[in-house]
Amino acid sequence: MNCAKFRKMANVYLDEETPQTLRAAIQAHLKTCADCRRAYEMTKRLAGLLQTEPAPDVPEGFARRVMTRARQQGIPKPVPVLLYPAQWWFELASPLRIAAAAMLVIGLAMGALMGWDVGQNGNAAPILTKTDTLKQYSLDYLGDAPYGSLAQVFLTIGK
C-alpha cells in the first residue's frame, strides 16, 4: 500500500466498506506512515462533524438566483420534456426524417413481398411434428424427455 492509494481509499476505509485483506494492508500502512495517519484522523474528525451538525437552511429564492446566474453565464437551459408522443419526430432534422420514412416504406414493402407467396398460393410451410423438430435440429437425444422437463417444454413450444 502506498500513500496515493491510501488517500483514494481513506473514505471507504473510514466507512468500513473495504474487504478484510485490503483493510489489513491499510492498517499496516497507517502504522508506518505518519502523513497518512494525520490525513486519516482529519478525515475521521470531519466525518464526525458532518454527522453531528445539522444541515444549514437554504435561503428563500436561492434556487431562482442560481438558475438566473447560470442563464446569464450561458449555461444551456434544461431539455424540455416531451409534451406529446410524436414531438421527437418533429425535432429530428429533415434528412433524418426522410431516411427514417424511406426505411419504413422499404421494410413494409419487403415484408409484403416475402409474405406474398404464402397469401397467393397457400404454400405455407407445413407445421412440424415433434419427430420432424427432433430431426431438423438434431435433438434426437431429447426424444425420451420426461413430461414437465425443460427439454419437453422446449419441444412443446417448437410444435
The residue range of the domain holding 117 is: 89-121
The closest of 117, 97, 116, 115 to 105, measured between CA atoms, is 97
**CA distance from start to end of the chain:** 62
Distance of CA 128 to the CA centre of its chain: 39
Round to whole Å and give the CA distance between 88 and 85.
7
Q: Please tell me what DSSP assigns to residue 92.
A: S
* pLDDT tens-digit profile, the chain (159 residues): 788 888 888 888 888 888 888 888 888 988 999 998 998 899 889 888 888 888 888 889 998 998 888 888 876 666 666 666 777 777 788 899 999 999 999 999 998 887 776 656 555 555 555 556 666 666 655 566 667 777 667 667 755
Cβ atoms within 10 Å of 5's Cβ, excluding its own: 14
Inside any domain, residue 148: yes
Inside any domain, residue 74: no
Q: Would the pTM of this model clear 0.85, i.e. be above it?
A: no
Inside any domain, residue 83: no
Inside any domain, residue 103: yes
